[in-house]
Amino acid sequence: MDSKTISPSSHISYKDLPALIGWFNLSIAFIGRFPFAMNIIGVLTLITIVTNSISTAAIASAIQAASTGIGNIVQGRIADRHGQKIPLLILSPINFCAIISIIICSYLSTPSVVFFALCAILGFTTAPLGAFARVRWYSLTHNNTQLSTALSYETTADELTFVFGPALVGILASLVSPVLPLIVTALIVITCVIPFALAFNPSPHLTSAKSVSSPGFVIICQKVCGTLLAMLGLGMFFGAMQTSTTALALAFQIPKSAGLIYAHLGLGAAITALAAVYLPKRLSLTARISGGGVLASLGALSCILSDNPWVLAGCLLGTGLAIGPASVAIFELTGRRAPQGGGTTAITALGAMNVLGVSGSVLITGQIVAKVAQNGFYIAFTAALILAVGGLISAIQERSTHSEN
């Protein structure tokens, strides 16, 4: 895979993308990724309210995130070898049933272990729609400018879903019912994810230059190990921030508003993700990753001082501003370094590292915030530094590659 750094001129051609894929396909690809952004915090919010235990909810959410990471890698490998339609059409109906089962169990005196099992199934069957959508552009675009613009759009779309997804969870849970966000995601699976599978099915091994065989998983990971570590740190950061925000919302006696408050982090990230195309080219992708990690770590520390929801929301918004360019850079750099025939695997591996980071961080942070809510932000501080280190390792990889060439 090979993507170029996006320039302002290519940013203008966003308007050309619907002509390449059609408004319907563009719309279902965007809406269809909302379950990925909504389900983890939706489950966290629902189980927190049902059990009145942030610790139990954190374990369930961590299991879901971990199984999502594993499932994403499996689906990515299948898609690289056999196409996207097979994993999507087989697993999406199971995903729908898992969501409905969690909703039903929330009304019953259900043991925690049942929630844990359902969350594992839910996570494993969650479609990595953002990654799949990125790969489709390789057969739809006609030149590098269009491809770069399409990949930039996909990153921005991911950021926007992580803004509006948690916000939608917060609004629906607080104004109507904590089960409504999961009802919405179940409907999206039926109306968007399955149609996405049927709308367009790229051939296996689809990259900017077609390859005969898919490279080994270890080889792919070696090529992108720096960005994988960076994404692991980013996932850990999101998990710690999400769990800490949920714990503080519970302490503020507004647990249903946790998603709405947390959405400010994604809002800040979306703003700077859109603006990332205007950053000077001399600011390398690796520098954006490391710089974003350092700034995010400082933002996490500022959240410790939050003593009311408004201050917390403001701190989250400011912290999110550091994340946008780093997130865009991670995807761009991975696309540039991934070997031919391993495009889908590399991108889904990024998603897997993200949710695995979320799961581990949620599990650890959930136990810490059960005692003092603000202490969870120290985990976020550490995670942001891991993000920065991933950027440094990527820079070393880049220099090594250039010296070899």
Is 209 a residue whose pLDDT tops 50? Answer: no
Task: Check residues 7 and 109 and name the one with the higher pLDDT.
Answer: 109
Query: Any idea what the Cα angle at residue 66 is, between residues 64 and 67, rounded to 5°?
Result: 65
Q: pLDDT category, 214, cuts 50, 70, 90?
A: low
The per-residue DSSP string of 56-77 comes to HHHHHHHHHHHHHHHHHHHHHH
* Residues in contact with 280: Cβ distance below 8 Å, sequence separation at least 6, in sequence order: none
Q: Are 91 and 97 in contact (CB under 8 A)?
A: no
Q: What is the pTM of this model?
A: 0.74
pLDDT tens-digit map of 118-167: 999 999 999 988 888 888 887 777 776 777 678 778 877 876 787 677 77
pLDDT tens-digit map of 183-192: 999 999 999 9
> Mean pLDDT score of the chain, rounded to an integer?
83
Mean pLDDT within 372-399: 93
pLDDT tens-digit map of 263-315: 888 888 878 877 776 788 788 989 999 999 999 999 999 999 888 899 999 99
* Rg for the chain, CA atoms, rounded: 20
| Exposure of 83 in the CB half-sphere (CA atoms within 13 A) | 12
* Dist. CA 153–CA 158, nearest whole Å: 9
Is 30 a residue whose pLDDT tops 90? Answer: yes
* Dist. CA 350–CA 19, nearest whole Å: 28
Tokens (6 digits) for 313: 């929301």
Q: Are 237 and 287 in contact (CB under 8 A)?
A: no
Length of the chain: 405
